[in-house]
Structure 1
Amino acid sequence: MQNRTVAEVMTWEVVQARPDTPAKELARLLDVHRISGLPVVDGDDKVMGVVSRTDLPALPGDRPGGPAAWPPHPVPRRPAGPRAADGATTAGDVMTTPAVTVHPEHRVADAARLMQRRHVDRLPVVDEEDRLIGITTRRDLLRVFLRPDEQILVEVVGEVLGRALDVPPDEVRVSVRDGLVTLRGTLAHEDDIPAAIGLTWRVDGVVGVVSRLVAREGDNGGPYGEPLRRTRE
């Protein structure tokens, strides 16, 4: 499972738009194909950005409460793109850019972690010249990569904290949600903290590690005493 690639799970036929595609046509494409976002490409099929349903302005007849993408972090946008002939809003106006992309040879595990870190629901797949060749969604990746959170928790507690680091059961609390592991508690030595984070990363199905660990030595365990959230590129 860990060695499966994006090429094995991606969709090769991609619904896409040009920067001058009007917002009304974007909404129609999303509705007809029952998707929540699509890539925007230039004349060479190079990915310029991504449009999500939540990027679109309200249109006459829109129904509230439609599908929405994961709320993204604020990201820079390009200057307003080319307008449609009637001056309407276009994909170039509303797209999020730069797009977060992956290559087909990337591991599913790494793509899932990138998706988690960048808070996106889809990743355009590009070739070595950044031309669009496919797309993969959060659902595609996590269906393959993620294990049930309960299984991850049992392994982190039993194998990482218990067997590898010999941490007493009441010293560290572990919680897991959608493959993101949070570690809270106190370890005997400062060096145990990066060890716990690194070993947790090796557990199959983990897409991120949030450390709220402190060392018993010293007042706050040094630099590791601060909350730390890591995801792998």
Structure 2
Amino acid sequence: MKSIKVADYMNKRPVTFKIDMTVAEASEKLIQSHQIGGPVLDIYKHVIGFLSEQECLTHLLKDTYLSESHSTVEDIMRTDVLTVGCDDSVLDLAEQMTKNKPKLYPVVDENGRLLGIITRNNILNAIDIHLRSFYEKGHDRIV
């Protein structure tokens, strides 16, 4: 199972954000994509931050009370982004995700450029596919 790689299950076309987008624009992208968050990229596609539904909700709610909207993605994004590589093990990432870590990880190359994202749902799918194929081959237990 450790041989199952992130690259095989990642979303290669995720929704991404630019620092100068308004929070309202970013929220609209999240709503349309059904993604729970996404990486913020510089002009070279390096991951420089992360924006989640929670940050958008918090700031849109505040903007609603104030009847104004001045926040940009740069104002509210997280900069402490945990990333993974294409060759990382799905099983190792699944173990990380069980310990209250992010629900979505940007997948980056060795230079920090975005290649895609992988979510808890992608990980569940990978494990499910692996287990089903294992049992279909007639194995009654996992060693």
Q: TM-score range by the shorter chain?
A: 0.7 to 0.9
The residue aligned with 1:136 is 118
Matched letter for residue 41 of structure 1: L
TM-score (structure 1 length as normaliser): 0.49
* Distance in 2 of aligned mates of 1:43 and 1:17: 11
Do the aligned partners of 2:55 and 2:77 also contact (CA within 8 Å) in 1? yes
Matched letter for residue 44 of structure 1: Y
* Distance in 2 of aligned mates of 1:41 and 1:116: 27
Q: Cα distance 1:18–1:135, how it changes in 2: closer, same or farther (>3 A)?
A: same
Matched letter for residue 52 of structure 1: S
Query: Which structure 2 residues correspond to residues 1-233 of structure 1 after superposition, within 5 A?
Result: 1-56=1-56, 57-59=59-61, 88-117=70-99, 119-145=101-127
Using the TM superposition, give the Cα deviation of residue 87 of structure 1 relative to its aligned residue in structure 2, in angstroms: 7.5
Using the TM superposition, give the Cα deviation of residue 48 of structure 1 relative to its aligned residue in structure 2, in angstroms: 1.0
Q: Residues 199-229 of structure 1, C-alpha deviation per residue, up to 9 Å, x if partnerless?
A: xxxx87xxxxxxxxxxxxxxxxxxxxxxxxx
The structure that is helix-richer by fraction is: 2
Structure 2 unmatched runs, 5+ = 132-141
Question: SS where residue 44 of structure 1 aligns?
Answer: coil
Using the TM superposition, give the Cα deviation of residue 111 of structure 1 relative to its aligned residue in structure 2, in angstroms: 1.5
Using the TM superposition, give the Cα deviation of residue 58 of structure 1 relative to its aligned residue in structure 2, in angstroms: 2.4
Count of residues paired in the alignment: 126
The structure that is strand-richer by fraction is: 1
Question: SS where residue 130 of structure 1 aligns?
Answer: coil
Matched letter for residue 121 of structure 1: K
* Distance in 2 of aligned mates of 1:139 and 1:123: 12
Please provide the CA RMSD for this pair.
2.5
- Pair member with larger Rg: 1
The residue aligned with 1:153 is none
Identity %: 30
* Distance in 1 of aligned mates of 2:97 and 2:28: 26
* Distance in 2 of aligned mates of 1:118 and 1:43: 31
* Distance in 2 of aligned mates of 1:49 and 1:41: 7
Matched letter for residue 35 of structure 1: Q
* Distance in 2 of aligned mates of 1:97 and 1:13: 21
Q: Once superposed, which parts of structure 1, at least 4 consecutive aligned residues long, lie more than 3 Å away? A: none
Higher relative contact order (CA 8 A, sep 6+): 2
